[in-house]
Amino acid sequence: MKKYLLLLISIGATIAATGQNFESFGQDNPTKTSNKSTVPQQLPIDVRSWQIDEHLGIADTCDVDTVITSFQDNTPPYKYSIANSWTGNLGSPLQSKIFFDRTQKTRFLFSNPYDVYAVNVEDVKFFNTKTPYANLTYRTSLPSFQDEDYFRALYTMNFNKYLNFGGLFNFILGRGRYKYQVSRALNGGFWGSYSGKRYEFNMAVMFNDFRNQENGGIKDVNALNRSSQYKYLATNFSDAVKAISTYKSAVFYFNHKYSLGFEKERKLKTDSTVYDFVPVTSFIHTVKYENAKKRYTEAAKNDFYANTYHSPQSTLDSIRYQNLRNTFALTLEEKFNTLLKFGLAAFVEHELIRNTDYSTNIKFLDEYEQNIYLGGQLSKNGGEFIKYNFKGQLTFAGRRIGDFSLQGNINTKFKVLTDTIGIKASGEVNSVSPEFFVNNYFSNHFEWANDFAKTSDVRIHSQLTSKKTGIALGFNLANIRNCIYFDHNALPAQFSDNLQVMAFDLQANLRLWKIHLDNKASYQMTSNREILPLPDLALYSNLYFKTKLFDVLTTQIGVSCRFHTEYYGNAYMPATGQFYLQNNTLLGNYPDLNVYANFHLKRIRFYFQYAHLNMYLFGGKGYQLMPGYTINPATFQMGLSWAFYN
């Protein structure tokens, strides 16, 4: 109990030390500060953050994580999607039950289940700050011998107004509420950026290290009851098997550009003159290297896999993926092109891939692949009324010759009476060759050799938002030909006909006095449930009372609920880490309720939560996330996040 006491003491000490002096930093709009004369003002805090397009290094401003509402839900799985297939233990493989929430951060087949936790270039936030900025976050739960610990540390500082360096460290240890379910996730890295007049760079070195103990799921889910004996329930893997899945990756990224342009005179109100540099054209180079490895081991034979063994004594499956890309680009800068007001870019990219499979000393497969891409981009990132970005690329040499991708998005907003309406629309057309390990793979339990055709994927997305009402409506449509999936035998297969998915999304944050009701909903329709099963409706609702106690302590007390309709959701295959079709177990029609108290005090956020409180209302039945894997039993959780600016 020592760590819980330390956490409570930290919260209490902060309240005592800062209870007389507060500011509104950390509210949902972090740029605003209190106007009350009774609130002492601290030194100005100026933290700017952005993410980049990894091909050309184009920056897109993003928020610093200071939002306090529903801080208790600010965990990787809940930020990823409102409905997920996973083992229920923090740090374990995951697949969203919302089709349009699913991501593919790399082209390595075995990395996808870890997208929710993995850090790649698209996840890196670059900073520019006048004062050093740090943030520490810690979450934990009870009981202590089966708890989930989550620690996150971020630090960034500027050496001058152009040069910034920072680092990130994430650690998750989920001891598991059931037998043989320990998960450990360790990732992070460091980054740097330089924003000079003519020369700029963005650099990142990131790593991911995940380790999951596999138990194959609970043998008899019907044995779950109100007692605490769930930790003794039999699982499909015994202690002798010692099944372990690991995934590791490292990413090195460096983007830099040199701009040619001219100095433009600008008069200040003080009648003094300054000269602003206006870039005309830029020369850009980007290099990115990925090195990823997936392993699955067993110490002894396991009846779960029946006779699917090359070696019955033990299992040691190991697969490796390496990708080295160099991109060279030439741009016409938007800041110079004031007449047409858009930017242009053209690029060429060389890619070298190495795929290696050396599982259980049965075979050894080592294959290299090279591709050359040509592409271009048209964009408008400045201005208030309309912004857009259109990008396309074609593989004109290499194994993937003929592959192409077209992507575009457009954003605008306008006033309607006292409201601001935002409209976003995007679309993409992709024709891509199957990844190497979808066609070629061998291991101790699975082996396949396929010759799948290119997959054609067309998607459309649109969203309408109302700033005043807090309501957002979204529409998604996908048409996929030659869709690749994992069949009932957990083997890759291809559906040669067209597969359509349509989804309507709703986000509504309603308020009456101090009572709030935040809602997210997704209604999905799939043209073939046998190939792509999805729940018709998924919901997240959060009902809470929000006020400010003693004029200093922002308090949120409420109950949240997650729910989706019944369907034959995917199962999980430990040996490959993939999610595959099954039609034996119906999942869903079960609410997951949590009651919580969430607080914000100056630069500190903390919460207390009792999760899955309704477990006892339904006698412990029916709360499977996947066949054999359930929502964690009811548990008490708490967490703390502390920001430092000095």
pLDDT, greater one: 616 or 331: 331
Rounded Cα distance, 204 and 129, in Å: 18
Q: What would the pLDDT profile of 498-538 be if each residue is shown by its tens digit?
A: 999 999 999 999 999 999 999 999 999 999 999 999 999 99
Residue 229, number of CB atoms within 10 A of its CB: 10
Rounded Cα distance, 68 and 147, in Å: 24
Q: What is the mean pLDDT of residues 43-62?
A: 78
What is the chain's Cα-based Rg?
26
Has residue 17 got a pLDDT over 50? no
Q: What would the pLDDT profile of 278-318 be if each residue is shown by its tens digit?
A: 889 999 999 999 999 999 999 988 888 876 677 777 899 99
Has residue 10 got a pLDDT over 60? no
Q: What would the pLDDT profile of 126-150 be if each residue is shown by its tens digit?
A: 999 988 999 999 999 988 778 899 9
Has residue 9 got a pLDDT over 70? no
Residue with token string 């400045």: 382
Any idea what the Cα angle at residue 43 is, between residues 42 and 44, rounded to 5°?
A: 110
Question: Are residues 524 and 99 in contact, defined by beta-carbon separation less than 8 angstroms?
Answer: yes
Q: How confident is the model at residue 20 (pLDDT cuts 50, 70, 90)?
A: very low
Number of domains the chain is built from: 1
Extract the tokens encoding 361: 């000393």
CATH code assigned at 281: 2.40.170.20
Q: What is the 3-state secondary structure (H, E, C) of 108-160?
A: CHHHHHHCCCCCCHHHCCEEEECCCEEEEEEEEECCHHHCEEEEEEEEEEECC
Alpha carbon distance, N-terminus to C-terminus of the chain = 32
Which CA distances in Å does 134 have to 33, 129, 267? 20, 11, 37
Q: Give the start-end residues of each E strand in 15-132.
A: 47-52, 59-61, 84-86, 94-96, 126-129
C-alpha 233 chain-centroid distance: 32
Instruction: Provide the 3-class DSSP secondary structure of residue 507.
Output: strand
Has residue 408 got a pLDDT over 80? yes
Rounded Cα distance, 249 and 262, in Å: 43
Rounded Cα distance, 95 and 111, in Å: 12
Can you give the pLDDT at residue 66?
65
| Closest C-alpha to 431, from 412, 408, 459 | 459
Has residue 457 got a pLDDT over 60? yes
Rounded Cα distance, 508 and 472, in Å: 6
Rounded Cα distance, 466 and 507, in Å: 10
| Closest C-alpha to 627, from 588, 594, 601 | 588
pTM of the model: 0.91
Extract the tokens encoding 120: 């790649």
Q: Which domain holds residue 235?
A: 2-645
Task: Give 483's contacts (C-beta < 8 A, 6+ positions apart).
Answer: 455, 494, 495, 499, 531, 532
Q: What is the mean pLDDT of residues 601-605?
A: 92
Q: What would the pLDDT profile of 421-434 be if each residue is shown by its tens digit?
A: 999 999 999 999 99
Q: What would the pLDDT profile of 317-345 be if each residue is shown by its tens digit?
A: 999 999 999 999 999 988 776 666 788 99
Has residue 98 got a pLDDT over 70? yes
Question: Are residues 301 and 312 in contact, defined by beta-carbon separation less than 8 angstroms?
Answer: yes
- DSSP for 282-307, please give it: EEEEEEEEEEEEEEEEESS--GGGTT
Q: How confident is the model at residue 23 (pLDDT cuts 50, 70, 90)?
A: very low
Can you give the pLDDT at residue 645?
84
Rounded Cα distance, 122 and 58, in Å: 12
Can you give the pLDDT at residue 592?
94
Q: How confident is the model at residue 273 (pLDDT cuts 50, 70, 90)?
A: confident
Can you give the pLDDT at residue 389?
93
Rounded Cα distance, 48 and 193, in Å: 12
Q: φ, ψ for residue 510 (rounded to 5)?
A: -100, 155
C-alpha 227 chain-centroid distance: 35
- Which sign, positive or negative, has the C-alpha torsion 571, 573, 574, 579? negative
Task: Give 269's contacts (C-beta < 8 A, 6+ positions apart).
Answer: none
State what percent of residues in the chain have pLDDT above 70: 90
Rounded Cα distance, 112 and 115, in Å: 5
Q: What is the mean pLDDT of residues 33-40?
A: 34
| Closest C-alpha to 430, from 475, 400, 387 | 400
Can you give the pLDDT at residue 228?
56
Question: Are residues 325 and 393 in contact, defined by beta-carbon separation less than 8 angstroms?
Answer: no
